[in-house]
Amino acid sequence: MPTVNPQPLSSGEETMAMHLSIHGIEAEREHYFSFPRKWRFDFAIPEQKIAIEIEGGKWQVGRHQRPMGFERDCRKYSHAALLGWRVLRFTSDMVMSGEAIDITVACVQGRSL
């Protein structure tokens, strides 16, 4: 597996990491899931094939909103689904409100909300 030097956590990622820890959920950060593409998830629970992506730039035009970035994300998430991953995508607002951790806990426990 390639070595990765994680980027500093965004406020949404920092809060999600704290929520995961509080709930006793061990998630790997910057988990590579597809070689040779070097695709990775913000957080992953590999044993259950649960991926967590914190989508930034909701109110600004960032990489995810530009046509090529959006298309790359679509490829990444579709490929992850083909490999059996459940990808949970959240905005920072969803993380801050607690909605993201509620959904994540339900997914880990195999239940609905």
What is the domain partition of the chain in residue ranges?
13-109
**Fold entry, domain 13-109:** Endonuclease; Chain A (3.40.960)
Cβ partners under 8 Å of residue 24, min gap 6: none
pLDDT band at 49 (very low <50, low <70, confident <90, very high): very high
Q: What pLDDT is stored for residue 5 in this prediction?
A: 55
Q: What pLDDT is stored for residue 43 in this prediction?
A: 97
Distance CA 4, CA 105 (A): 27
Lowest mean pLDDT, pick from 2-16, 18-32, 79-93: 2-16
Contact 95, 101 (CB under 8 A): yes
pTM: 0.83
Distance CA 15, CA 36 (A): 30
